[in-house]
A and B are shown apart, each in its own frame.
Chain A
Amino acid sequence: MDAEGIAIRFGYGLPANASAPEGLIANLAGPDLAASDWPGNTLAEVALAAAAYREARQARDEGAIKAARHALDDLALRGLKTSFARAVGSPDAFRERLVAFWADHFTVAARNRQEAPFPGVLIDEAIRPHVTARFADMLRAVTTHPAMLIYLNQEASFGPGSPKGKRQKKGLNENLARELLELHTLGVGADYAQTDVRELAELLTGLAVGPEGFVFDAKRAEPGAETVLGVRYDGKGMAPIHAVLDDLAARPETAAHLARKLAVHFVADAPDPALVADLEDVFRATGGDLKAVSQALLTHPKAGQGTKARQPFDFMVAAFRALGVTSETILAAAPRDVRRLILNPLQAMGQPFRQAPGPDGWPEAAAAWITPQGLAARIDWAMAAPQRLVRPLPDPRDFLRTALGKRAGERLTWAVGAAESARDGVGLVLASPEFNRR
């Protein structure tokens, strides 16, 4: 693949930041500059705001409710802007795409105003630090993060034989245990049984959320040993939980599941089996080293095959980059403009920000995105948004080269030249199949 192809498939499109795969790989080995250049919200800030909102509502204090709502909305807005700023501006676009991939793998969706800033915090604290390190560490970090514990109801799970379970007559919630096996590690087709889910759910009791963040609450932990996939886990505190997570991360089914997901997300809805097999081998040979797996993906001979539809977030980021909209512009945008130009259009395109329909994340197939509704929303945005973002609009023929390089087809090149206005010409480029595929 040439540099343009790599920037389109593995980054957020043109202009390309790094000239060759070596550049992208070198970036991956370096520090996470985007996280330090554009810092996100911290758990402490978000938890404080959520607590203030809860307290104000309990006290029915209208003034305080309003203030707490504002604070939560500000945090959510900042989280959204930070995500866009990083994706648009980072010289390390492959890392940003990997972060997005793993964030989708470990989906946490916001279900209401109170939760809106939480998914971003999980991404910053539990995903980003491990994106070029060990999967097992990412799994531990995500599984103990308050945002995940709340989203998959682990904070509502009590060992039926634990002191709190008995006293409060509360029982197990299997949600996190099930998704851990089905989505996060082994995959739905793997050979595990309901008893494994139940035993794992018992093993996970104790994971809880305190006022300051994650806590292990021994009083809700089910006493005794549990057996998951034939392995017996015994002991107190976090040790058996860490042990089962490490074992799950090291299972061959996990390597196969993750290799396939990576290939499907980055390369093709139906990827070449050789690509999947090679990624799986690297994952297993390196003990789940995600930097090695990502490098193998990027440099694989089959990495250029097939085609994918850009998801709405990726589509919008690629458009910002092609139009020259900078991270600074995004960070300075008024809330009203963010709603009008980003939030509402994302929803119309079928991808409301951080609100995936379920813990299995967003769909991958092109046909799930290029629907009548989804495409109409992209066309409307392509025609209307650019002139609100850049003035004057670029010459559409130049813009075609900026946005697509050598990838513009004959039909599109002709149509852009034939457009009656810069608005239509730029809109055609952004609405084209070439720009909406990667």
Chain B
Amino acid sequence: MERRIFLKGLGALGCSAAAHPMLTTLTLAATPGENRLVVIILRGAMDGLDVVQPRGDAGLAAARPDVLAPSADLDGFFALHEGLSNLMPLWAAGELAFVHATSTPYRDKRSHFDGQDLLEAGTGTDLVPAAQRDGWLNRLLTVLPGAQSETAWAVGREAMPILAGSAAAQSWSPDQDLAVSAPARALLEHVYEADPLFHQASATAFGLAGMEEGEGQDTDLIADFVAERLRGSARIAAFSLSGWDTHKGQARAIRKPLDQLQRTVLRLKAGLGPDAWGKTVVMAMTEFGRTVRQNGSGGTDHGTGGAMLVAGGAVRGGKVYGRWPGLAEADLYDRRDLLPTSDVRDWAGQVLAGLFGIDQAVLEGTVFPGLKIEMPAQLIL
């Protein structure tokens, strides 16, 4: 196994030095199969208790007299925030699942930055910082058979440490308009022709720019761009949706990020088309959850256990996964937060195994070093 990882790593390096990103969907080189993964980092700490509400737990209403939105029943115990109501058809079709009371191993300090770092590094807290400079999606690329430099994309303005590392990956922000007139573009191309680095980068950029002509929000452009890439030769994409840090007036503040999330999922589905969507998993994960009790300004503060959204045709949907720990004070973490009963990496590992056939030993040794995956696979069809 060690040898395979090593050889694979060499292959990825050679690729980044020699190849230049090919954007055509007709690329003849092997791709890592037909399955697709989209990872959305929900920056700011999404309040899992408000989004996937444990209505069957008596503790909820007591802790949240003002911060609890209207919701639609999911399974008799959990109910979905009305801000995601457009996703109910996906739930009914078995293409939407949630994981509740889950978290990274990050505890206690509750800093967004450190929490996101750990989420994207995919390591435990025991690992030395040097081991946390690359992200788990990048490490996945080093062990993914058939991975090319255009297999994985970081999309949008936000830096995506989850894809940073030694394996070659692409990045693009679809709001970069590259607004040059046709004559100016011809002159630029003439100037760049003599410099291979500039020639290749600009050729790719001109190919990508202006592809998404939508009038919508930036997040719509991102979703459309990701769908376009995944319909082609790309198999992995990562991007951010922000705005979840609802310390104040949560009832109103959470509406926009929720709407962006549901629009994004629906646009991905529409853009991918039935065939590709059937082979896709979208995982939306956040750095940690929020306090069980609302605070004094109609919001919630940084907590621990949270929720994850999983969507796509390859998902075993229609279910809220994870063991529910309860909201009684004695059941909470630190007497204030939802107690995590699973590690987000367990779920992500299941998805990687199901989509890309990554062995458990490789998952535990390379992608999520130090992790022991114990739960049975259940999330993927």
Q: For chain A, what secondary structure do more than half of its interface residues adopt (helix, strand, loop), or is it mixed?
A: helix
**Interfacial chain A residues near B194, Cβ < 8 Å:** 409, 411, 433
Complexed CA–CA distance, A309 and B201 (Å): 13
Interface 9-mer from B82-90, B203-211, B314-322, B354-362: B203-211
If A111-B111, A111-B113, A366-B197 are given as contacts, then 6 extra A-B residue pairs at C-beta distance below 8 Å, sorted by A number, are A182-B130, A360-B133, A370-B201, A372-B205, A375-B205, A420-B184
A383 engages B184 (CB within 8 Å): yes
Q: Is A317's CB within 8 Å of the partner chain B?
A: no
Max chain B C-beta neighbours (<10 A), residue from A347, A359, A411: A411
Q: Is B92's CB within 8 Å of the partner chain A?
A: no
A175 engages B179 (CB within 8 Å): no
Q: Is B161's CB within 8 Å of the partner chain A?
A: yes
B188 engages A431 (CB within 8 Å): yes
User: Given B191, B193, B198, which contacts A370 in the complex, CB threshold below 8 Å?
Assistant: B198
A368-405 residues with Cβ-Cβ distance < 8 A to B are: 370-377, 379-380, 383-384
**Interfacial chain B residues near A186, Cβ < 8 Å:** none
User: Given B172, B188, B204, B208, which contacts A428 in the complex, CB threshold below 8 Å?
Assistant: B188
User: Given A357, A419, A427, which contacts B161 in the complex, CB threshold below 8 Å?
Assistant: A357
List residues of B whose CB falls within 8 A of some A CB: 16, 21, 111-113, 128-130, 133, 157, 159, 161, 164, 170-173, 176-181, 183-184, 187-188, 190-195, 197-198, 201-202, 204-205, 208-209, 295-297
**Interfacial chain A residues near B188, Cβ < 8 Å:** 379, 415, 428, 431
A168-187 residues with Cβ-Cβ distance < 8 A to B are: 174-175, 178-179, 182
Q: Is A157's CB within 8 Å of the partner chain B?
A: no
Known: A112-B112, A375-B202. A433 touches B178 (CB 8 A): no
Known: A373-B205, A374-B201, A375-B205. A415 touches B190 (CB 8 A): yes
B171 engages A373 (CB within 8 Å): yes
* Least Cβ–Cβ distance between B110 and chain A, in angstroms: 13
Q: Is A424's CB within 8 Å of the partner chain B?
A: yes
B129 engages A376 (CB within 8 Å): no
Known: A360-B133, A374-B201, A420-B183. A379 touches B178 (CB 8 A): yes
**Interfacial chain A residues near B176, Cβ < 8 Å:** 348, 373, 376-377, 380
User: Given A352, A375, A414, A427, which contacts B184 in the complex, CB threshold below 8 Å?
Assistant: A427
**Interfacial chain A residues near B296, Cβ < 8 Å:** 60
B178 engages A376 (CB within 8 Å): yes
Complexed CA–CA distance, A383 and B185 (Å): 11
Q: Which 10 A-B pairs have the closest CB atoms?
A: A372-B204, A433-B195, A372-B205, A376-B205, A111-B113, A415-B187, A424-B184, A375-B201, A433-B198, A376-B176
* Least Cβ–Cβ distance between B270 and chain A, in angstroms: 25
Q: Is A418's CB within 8 Å of the partner chain B?
A: yes
What are 17 inter-chain pairs, A to B, with CB distance below 8 A? A111-B111, A112-B112, A174-B129, A178-B129, A357-B133, A372-B172, A372-B205, A373-B172, A376-B178, A376-B202, A411-B194, A419-B184, A419-B187, A420-B184, A428-B184, A432-B191, A433-B195
Q: Is A30's CB within 8 Å of the partner chain B?
A: no
Complexed CA–CA distance, A112 and B115 (Å): 13
User: Given A60, A366, A380, A420, which contacts B177 in the complex, CB threshold below 8 Å?
Assistant: A380
Nearest-CB residue, chain B, relative to A436: B198
Max chain B C-beta neighbours (<10 A), residue from A182, A377, A431: A431
User: Given B129, B184, B208, B295, which contacts A372 in the complex, CB threshold below 8 Å?
Assistant: B208
Known: A179-B129, A415-B187. A60 touches B198 (CB 8 A): no
**Interfacial chain B residues near A427, Cβ < 8 Å:** 180, 184
User: Given B133, B177, B202, B295, which contacts A358 in the complex, CB threshold below 8 Å?
Assistant: B133
* Least Cβ–Cβ distance between A157 and chain B, in angstroms: 13
Per-residue 0/1 for A204-229: is the Cβ within 8 Å of any B Cβ (1 yes, 0 no)? Answer: 00000000000000000000000000
Complexed CA–CA distance, A62 and B299 (Å): 14
Q: Is A412's CB within 8 Å of the partner chain B?
A: yes
Complexed CA–CA distance, A309 and B197 (Å): 10
**Interfacial chain A residues near B129, Cβ < 8 Å:** 174-175, 178-179, 359
A178 engages B171 (CB within 8 Å): no
* Least Cβ–Cβ distance between A340 and chain B, in angstroms: 14
Q: Is A334's CB within 8 Å of the partner chain B?
A: no
B197 engages A383 (CB within 8 Å): no
Nearest-CB residue, chain A, relative to B296: A60
**Interfacial chain A residues near B178, Cβ < 8 Å:** 376, 379-380
Nearest-CB residue, chain B, relative to A347: B157
Nearest-CB residue, chain B, relative to A416: B187
B159 engages A357 (CB within 8 Å): yes
Nearest-CB residue, chain A, relative to B170: A372
Max chain B C-beta neighbours (<10 A), residue from A370, A375, A424: A375
**Interfacial chain A residues near B201, Cβ < 8 Å:** 370-372, 374-375
Complexed CA–CA distance, A376 and B201 (Å): 8
Complexed CA–CA distance, A101 and B159 (Å): 22
Complexed CA–CA distance, A375 and B197 (Å): 10
* Least Cβ–Cβ distance between B153 and chain A, in angstroms: 10
A384 engages B179 (CB within 8 Å): yes
**Interfacial chain B residues near A428, Cβ < 8 Å:** 184, 187-188, 191
Nearest-CB residue, chain A, relative to B178: A376
Q: Is A239's CB within 8 Å of the partner chain B?
A: no
Complexed CA–CA distance, A62 and B208 (Å): 44
**Interfacial chain A residues near B183, Cβ < 8 Å:** 419-420, 424
Per-residue 0/1 for A259-284: is the Cβ within 8 Å of any B Cβ (1 yes, 0 no)? Answer: 00000000000000000000000000
Q: Is A193's CB within 8 Å of the partner chain B?
A: no
**Interfacial chain A residues near B128, Cβ < 8 Å:** 174, 178
